[in-house]
Amino acid sequence: MSYRPAPRDLRASDFERDRVVTLLGDAAADGRLTPGEHADRVERAYQARTLGELAALTTDLVSQTAQPIRLDGRRPVTGIFGRDSRDGCWVVPENLPVVAIFGEVELDLREALLQSGRIVIYATIILGTIHLIVPDGVVIETTGSSVFTRRISRTVRPPGQRAAAPGRPGRGEATDQPVIELRTVGFGGTIKVTSPKRPRRLGGLRRGGQLR
């Protein structure tokens, strides 16, 4: 049995620290933080070692969906006669349930943190839409059984951007590519997978606590 650290125990990177510091600056500018509170929290942000320590600095400043670091990735993503989404810097668990029933779900992984090199998304779709936005270089596998479900795969890159070399290692990471398995059960609807429309920023997708 392999150990997977809880989202709050994952090591923080400079990218995540900068996201928090930016929000703290906005809060100080509009009066939500005093100059003293701002200075104290900025210092704590740069000293933070884990995502949990960083997330605690902004919980009283913006709503859960607007947090610069989201640690609620284990909650199912549900679009039932409505819309639900995950985007920004959020932790993607090894197994994630997704439901789209006469509704829409969008999962944006361009700045996400993967808890495992292989993520399984358990998708239930009934006349709904599931849209998966992934960075270039991520392997997508579609399995399961669905009837009359349309699948769309589209690669969109800015002018001059080249595809990432398969297996190209980042800092301290393995050379294999991360895999997203979309295990689908349902009837009708649309599953759409697209690559980013903008270049991936440094410090974006991470896997297993390592920067990608």
Rounded alpha-carbon distances, angstroms, from residue 134 to 6, 20, 24, 75, 106: 23, 23, 28, 20, 11
Residue with tokens 């993607």: 92
Cα angle for residues 98, 109, 53 (degrees, 5° grid): 100
What pLDDT is stored for residue 81 in this prediction?
97
Closest CA to 131 of 95, 106, 152: 106
Rounded alpha-carbon distances, angstroms, from residue 212 to 114, 170, 175, 176: 10, 5, 10, 11
Task: Write the single-letter amino acid at 210.
Answer: Q
What pLDDT is stored for residue 174 in this prediction?
44
Q: Give the predicted TM-score (pTM) of the model.
A: 0.70
List pLDDT tens digits, range 116-171. 889 999 999 999 999 999 988 888 998 998 888 888 887 544 444 433 333 333 33
Secondary element (H or E) of residue 157: none
Q: In this model, does residue 201 exceed pLDDT 50?
A: no
Distance, in Å, from the CA atom of 197 to the CA atom of 185, rounded to the nearest integer, reads 29
List pLDDT tens digits, range 32-82. 999 999 999 999 999 999 999 999 999 999 988 889 998 876 678 999 999
What pLDDT is stored for residue 125 in this prediction?
96
Q: Hey, what are 185's tokens? A: 């059960």
What pLDDT is stored for residue 22 in this prediction?
96
| Under 8 Å between Cβ of 206 and 113 | yes
Residue with tokens 């810097």: 89
Regarding predicted confidence, which is higher, 30 or 6? 30
